[in-house]
Structure 1
Amino acid sequence: MTRDHMSETARKPKIVFWGTYDLGKPRNRILAKALETKEADITFLHHDVWTGIEDKSQVSGIGTKIGLAWRWIAGYPKLLWRYACLGHQDAVLVGYPGVLDVLLLAPIAFIRREKIVWDMFICLYDTVVRDRKKFRKWHPVSVFLYLLEWVAVRLASYVLMDTKAHAAVVERLFRLKAGSVGTVYLGVEDQVFDITGDKPQKGSGGPLTILFYGQFIPLHGIKTIIEAARLSRDRCYRWVLIGDGQDAGKIRDMLETTDGDLDIVWKPWVPYSDLSVEIASADICLGIFGNSEKAASVIPNKVCQILRCGKPLITRDSPAIRELVETSEVGVKLVPPGNPQKLLDAVRDMEEEGLPQPRADLLEIMTQKAISNDLYKYLLK
């Protein structure tokens, strides 16, 4: 073996995680950690745009929009210059939300002959127009979003989504070749969501506590949860809702017209670091119950976090969740979307079964090692 060949085989791959990706999202933090688990030369070139903006579809007010636009305008020249000055990279990873990043990065990456791996993660058009119905299909904003993403998915060498079902939605929506969009599962931040050594025990004599947390958006099906709570008057249940968002006004109206004898608690917000405490305090945790195509194609963060904490889970049945569990099993109940009676039946069944814990190996496809292997498969392809 020649010296040059030995040097080439020993060379670490060079990868840059580039753009305005939102480090407030667990997805991007998990990918950043996954990058560092391999023997690779990793560079992080990041400009913070999203601090203080949790729900991007809810950005409103001229001041907020101007401030957001200014942070973008101010950040891109520096980001692009720093990338152009880097030595050759084997791949450029662009995180969520990265549609503008891809559009601006592509010309320089093309000149440098470097592939772009875009973790699309959430399709803006699908989310804003089809799922949340913020704009009609042919509204100028809808058309603009679609065109931006239509171009971006073609400029990227590889596009990644969080489930195979979600990848298939993007392929159909943007008329891409079947199987062309890759999958890297969500994973979970183990250092935040781990109560395996301190699980509260049922039997204190208090009410059964059922927890939902997340944004109040159509995908999550909060109305279904409240309707199930209304049907549970004959049971000693305490329903805890944590969150805020697009449907908060509608949820508030529903709660105000609910009988006072129902035990429903709404906490608009708790710190991310305290979610594991809320999970530990619950007997049963809830996933999502929306009936849209998007709801059928995703496994939300909360599902992974709940399973990591070893808590009983009830969530909607879907092609996406079937990638994780084949059917309802010990500690996991899958119910039809938008059906409060089936949700309540699942709660009762789980209670009668003694609140069993889910299998510890359910998250095998979402371990840090599995995510790292899946990610590098595309980065080094």
Structure 2
Amino acid sequence: MRVCYLLAYKDPDYIRTRNLVQALQSMDGVELCIAKSRSSGPTRYLETLRQVFHIERTWHPDFYLVGFRGHELYPLLRSFLPGERIIFDNMMSPTLSLLEERGLGAARRKLVSSTIARIERWILHDAAAVLTDTSAHIDAFKEHFQLQHQQLEAIPVAADETFQAASPLPPGKRTVLFYGSFLPLHGATYILNALRRLSLPGVTFHFVGGSNSDSSDIARLRSENTAIEVRHDRHIPFDTLIGKHLAQAWLCLGGPFGGTPQAKRVVTGKTAQALAMAVPTMVGESPAACGLIDRKNCLAVPQRDADGIAASIKWAYHNPTALAEIGNAGQAHYREHLSMSRVKDSLGSLLRRLS
């Protein structure tokens, strides 16, 4: 079976792409060809399409797999490849993100509904199959885009499994780590409000990412609560962030905590990465977090609950032995439900079903 994985995303080495490609490369009976842009600007679409045209003429794939995010590329691809079977990774929906997460006014909501939603619905119905990351996303796509269950396949994002946590942690060092884009679904506001309630000697709260506004909010927290140590870096390279800072974290705030519709459908990348490394992880309760149980294999708190976040951090502070056991149990959950092995099995099953 010949599969062409193609992508024209601003981040060509996004973890979702790396893990899907790795899974395809490891499958018996699958020959893989990759058409992927190298730049992040508008020329990336032309770069990818040129490669696709060459591959179609010389290699004739059985399937094309359009990686996330491929919504802009798909209509062009379909116009040049009529009749070819295209699998589409709709890990997250731009329509639902815009309508549910961004607080759009009536005029912009109408624009999204009349244009972006129609395009996305056409893509999802045209594709031979649609990938996403959780069963909660499958339910949402069935409801909003009238898709049939057999058209959809939930494949977890997984993590970079080459990284390992530090064991033991550096003596006397307890770091609570939160990193990411600080979007509403992540609930950074609730984390900051939780930290205003805490006084924990010897604990450092380390934030990575965010905008200028987020930097100001963190600086305000630092000035309002001098009883805790707060650190903020706007950016740390991925390998250093994971291989050093997450590896040495005492607790990862994986979330999401924002209580938005999207927050109830995803397992965040940092949650998967921390679980994979046996780093104790706090998550927000949601349908997508099925199997993650408070004080068994994670710390779980209700959505939009600053008091719950604060109380859970305090419990961890006073129960270090239990916290370490939670980290190990979290890793076991990852291996069974979210790992690269699961990615390979699910994607392989889909390809066999479509063949």
TM-score by length of 1: 0.82
Kindly provide the CA deviation profile for residues 311-355 of structure 1, in whole angstroms up to 9, marking residues without a partner as x: 111110100011x42x22435111001111111111122222212
Deviation at 1:291, TM superposition (A): 0.4
Kindly provide the CA deviation profile for residues 251-273 of structure 1, in whole angstroms up to 9, marking residues without a partner as x: 35743762344322111111100
Mapped partners of 1:261, 1:142: distance in 2: 48
Secondary structure, in 3 states, of the residue corresponding to 1:281? coil
Q: Kindly indicate whether residue 260 of structure 2 is the aligned counterpart of residue 278 of structure 1.
A: no
Answer with 1 or 2: which has the greater Rg.
1
Mapped partners of 1:159, 1:123: distance in 2: 11
Deviation at 1:202, TM superposition (A): 7.2
Q: In the alignment, what sits opposite 1:302?
A: 270
Does the 8 Å CA contact 2:88/2:131 hold for their aligned counterparts?
yes
Mapped partners of 2:346, 2:251: distance in 1: 31
Mapped partners of 2:236, 2:105: distance in 1: 30
In the TM superposition, what are the counterparts of 1:1-381 in structure 2 within 5 Å?
13-21=1-9, 22-39=11-28, 40-50=30-40, 68-72=41-45, 74-75=46-47, 77-111=49-83, 114-133=84-103, 136=106, 138-141=109-112, 143-178=114-149, 180-191=151-162, 193-195=163-165, 198-201=166-169, 204=172, 208-233=174-199, 237-245=203-211, 248=214, 251-252=217-218, 254-255=220-221, 258-276=224-242, 277-288=244-255, 289-322=257-290, 324-325=291-292, 327-354=293-320, 355-356=323-324, 357-359=327-329, 360-363=331-334, 364-380=336-352, 381=354
Does the 8 Å CA contact 2:200/2:227 hold for their aligned counterparts?
no
Mapped partners of 1:243, 1:200: distance in 2: 27
Mapped partners of 1:237, 1:282: distance in 2: 11
With over 3 angstroms needed to count, the CA separation of the structure-2 counterparts of 1:236 and 1:194, relative to structure 1, is closer
Mapped partners of 2:144, 2:220: distance in 1: 34
Deviation at 1:246, TM superposition (A): 8.5
Q: How many aligned residue pairs are there?
A: 342
Deviation at 1:302, TM superposition (A): 0.4
- One-letter amino acid matched to 2:34: F
Does the 8 Å CA contact 2:90/2:132 hold for their aligned counterparts?
yes
Deviation at 1:282, TM superposition (A): 2.1
Deviation at 1:96, TM superposition (A): 0.7
Kindly provide the CA deviation profile for residues 189-231 of structure 1, in whole angstroms up to 9, marking residues without a partner as x: 112x222xx3234762x5x421111111111111111111100
- One-letter amino acid matched to 1:20: A
With over 3 angstroms needed to count, the CA separation of the structure-2 counterparts of 1:41 and 1:342, relative to structure 1, is same
Secondary structure, in 3 states, of the residue corresponding to 2:299? strand
Deviation at 1:99, TM superposition (A): 1.2
Secondary structure, in 3 states, of the residue corresponding to 1:42? strand
Secondary structure, in 3 states, of the residue corresponding to 1:144? helix
With over 3 angstroms needed to count, the CA separation of the structure-2 counterparts of 1:118 and 1:247, relative to structure 1, is farther
Kindly provide the CA deviation profile for residues 79-103 of structure 1, in whole angstroms up to 9, marking residues without a partner as x: 4422431343221111011112222
Mapped partners of 2:204, 2:240: distance in 1: 19
With over 3 angstroms needed to count, the CA separation of the structure-2 counterparts of 1:49 and 1:201, relative to structure 1, is closer
Does the 8 Å CA contact 2:176/2:250 hold for their aligned counterparts?
yes
Mapped partners of 2:168, 2:43: distance in 1: 48
Q: In the alignment, what sits opposite 1:58?
A: none
Kindly provide the CA deviation profile for residues 237-258 of structure 1, in whole angstroms up to 9, marking residues without a partner as x: 3211111249626635743762
Structure 2: unaligned runs, 5 residues or longer: none
Q: In the alignment, what sits opposite 1:63?
A: none
Kindly provide the CA deviation profile for residues 140-159 of structure 1, in whole angstroms up to 9, marking residues without a partner as x: 35643212211111111101
CA-based RMSD of the aligned residues comes to 2.4
Structure 1: unaligned runs, 5 residues or longer: 1-12, 51-67
- One-letter amino acid matched to 2:137: H
Mapped partners of 1:174, 1:254: distance in 2: 42
Q: In the alignment, what sits opposite 1:55?
A: none
With over 3 angstroms needed to count, the CA separation of the structure-2 counterparts of 1:293 and 1:179, relative to structure 1, is farther
Mapped partners of 1:349, 1:236: distance in 2: 15
- One-letter amino acid matched to 1:368: M
Mapped partners of 1:77, 1:44: distance in 2: 11
Mapped partners of 2:289, 2:340: distance in 1: 19
Which shows bigger deviation, 274-283 or 148-157? 274-283
Which 4+ residue blocks in structure 1 deviate beyond 6 angstroms? Answer: none
With over 3 angstroms needed to count, the CA separation of the structure-2 counterparts of 1:87 and 1:371, relative to structure 1, is same
TM-score by length of 2: 0.87
Secondary structure, in 3 states, of the residue corresponding to 2:224? coil
Deviation at 1:139, TM superposition (A): 4.6
Deviation at 1:132, TM superposition (A): 3.0
Does the 8 Å CA contact 1:332/1:358 hold for their aligned counterparts?
no
- One-letter amino acid matched to 1:164: S
Does the 8 Å CA contact 1:219/1:292 hold for their aligned counterparts?
yes
